[in-house]
Amino acid sequence: MRAHGDAVLRFLRRRTDPQIAEDVFSETMLVVWRRFDEIPEEALPWLFVTARNCLRNAERSARRQRRVVERIITVDPPSETTHGENSDPREDCLRAALAHLSATDAEVLRLWAWEELGPQDIATVVGVSVNAATIRLHRAKKKLRQEMEALCPPAPSASLEGGNR
Amino acid sequence: MTEDDDLKALMRRADPTTFQAPIDEARIRRVAAAAERDSVTPSARKRPRWLITGVSAGAAVTAAAAVLIAGLVGAPAVQAPGPTGGAITCDAPTAAALRANDTAYEATVTSVEDGVAALRVTATFAGEPGATVDLPQMSDPATGGDLFVVGRAYLVAMTGGFASDCLTGPATDELRQVYVSAFGNGPPRLIRTDPGGLNAQLYQSPLR
């Protein structure tokens, strides 16, 4: 059975390179233990927020260390981990489109697709109301499709917007 | 498939973790243990009992998540008392607390290596632990030292894959009686415990 620790580490791995993810995961666990009494019943969003804050701290620290800063990738996921030999061209397009979105829109989409969170949990992680998260998610999907259409015009049958129209 | 489904599927295929090495769960536990050792809390490091045992059946889903956290953060961490000397405190095991666990069994430690104890299950009280179980080394609340010793038998209660610190211990008659009280007093079960088969034999459950 997968534990929340697994989910938190994956959350970090999706947002930085594996080594930094490991380091930040250790820091996150430290914070979790120190704030153990504050963990809510719905723990996962809280853990993601904690992990994200620890990652931000690491980023701030890294910016002061020029050699390290290049290892941290905040907007686009680690490129070295994303290219399989048989990768779908649409995946490359999606990565490029994702990088064109605002940080919040991209994060909302990652939380939706990769962490598989619903609007309520996304709202907790992003720090907005549930209604705002719902709207933001809807708009982010639309923007992502538009970016993909703009960056890589699809064949008529492969369009994400409009499907089989 | 809706447009959203299609987009989500495409995003999932672009998930960077798909191409990364699998997550080492033992490492996760070690990191959590180190976190507890290194943390300094203002209060005694007394584990929130509700996160480990005593949850209601109605809260099973929430409890499962909570127990995972407790397991991650707490289970292996007491192996080395932290700087505040925070050994856990345990109430005496009760049948009610035991019944909150999904798996309970008696097992003998066959090896301890790199902080992981391998146990051969000799009797099952609840759940399906399988013939062998690997557990992170735990702390003996009585001594503060390592709990699992090769060749000795233990009673283990688990929820969500994590052993309870306070309900797991050496297989004494006293503790076994609590397990029997919790999980019934039916006829002893015979289980095969040697997966190798060459020396397969049937062990009689200590139930009763």
* DSSP letters for B34-87: HHHHH---SS-----GGGTS---GGGHHHHHHHHHHHHHHHTTGGGS--TT---
**B21/A4 touch (CB, cutoff 8 Å), yes or no:** no
Count of the separate structural domains present in chain B = 1
Q: Judge whether residue B141 has pLDDT over 90.
A: no
Q: How many CB pairs under 8 A join A and B?
A: 127
Report yes or no: B15 at the A interface, CB cutoff 8 Å: yes
Mutant choice from B36, B41, B69, B84 vs A, greatest count of A C-beta within 10 A: B69
Q: How far apart (Å, rounded) are the C-alpha atoms in residues A60 and A56?
A: 6
pLDDT of amino acid B123? 92
Q: Judge whether residue A76 has pLDDT over 90.
A: no
Mean pLDDT of B179-196: 59
Q: SS3 helix, strand, coil % of chain B, rounded to 5? A: 35, 20, 45
pLDDT of amino acid B175? 93
The pair of structure tokens assigned to B184 is 């019934």
User: The pTM is what?
Assistant: 0.47
Share of chain B above pLDDT 90, in %: 20
Triad A61, A62, A67: Cα angle to 5°: 145
Q: How far apart (Å, rounded) are the C-alpha atoms in residues B77 and B42?
A: 17
pLDDT of amino acid A87? 64
**B17/A13 touch (CB, cutoff 8 Å), yes or no:** yes
Burial classification of residue A98, based on how many CB atoms lie within 10 Å of its CB (0-12 exposed, 13-18 middle, 19 or more buried): buried
**A33/B17 touch (CB, cutoff 8 Å), yes or no:** no
Q: Judge whether residue B199 has pLDDT over 70.
A: no
Q: How far apart (Å, rounded) are the C-alpha atoms in residues B74 and B51?
A: 10
Mean pLDDT of A17-35: 85
Contact B202, B192 (CB under 8 A): yes
Q: How far apart (Å, rounded) are the C-alpha atoms in residues A108 and A52?
A: 13
Report yes or no: B8 at the A interface, CB cutoff 8 Å: yes
Query: Who's near A13: CB < 8 A, 6+ residues apart?
Result: A21, B16, B17, B20
The number of helix segments (H) and strand segments (E) in chain B equals 5, 8
For residue B104, give the 3-state DSSP assignment.
strand
Q: Which range (A151-160, B174-183, B191-200) has the least confidence? A: B191-200
The CATH architecture that domain A86-159 belongs to is Orthogonal Bundle (1.10)
Domain ranges in chain A? Answer: 1-74, 86-159
Range of the domain at B145: 3-204
**pLDDT tens digits, B13-56:** 888 887 776 677 777 777 777 776 665 443 333 333 323 332 33
pLDDT of amino acid B83? 28
Of A88 and A100, more confident: A100
**pLDDT tens digits, A127-165:** 888 888 888 899 999 999 999 999 887 666 555 544 443
Whether complex ipTM tops 0.90: no
Contact A33, A47 (CB under 8 A): no
The pair of structure tokens assigned to A161 is 């917007």
For residue A117, which phi and psi values (nearest 5 degrees)? -90, 150
Mutant choice from A15, A36, A50 vs B, greatest count of B C-beta within 10 A: A36
**Per-residue burial over A8-47, b = 16 or more CB atoms within 10 Å of its CB, e = otherwise:** bbbbbbbbbbbebbbebbbbbbbbbbbebeebeeebbbbb
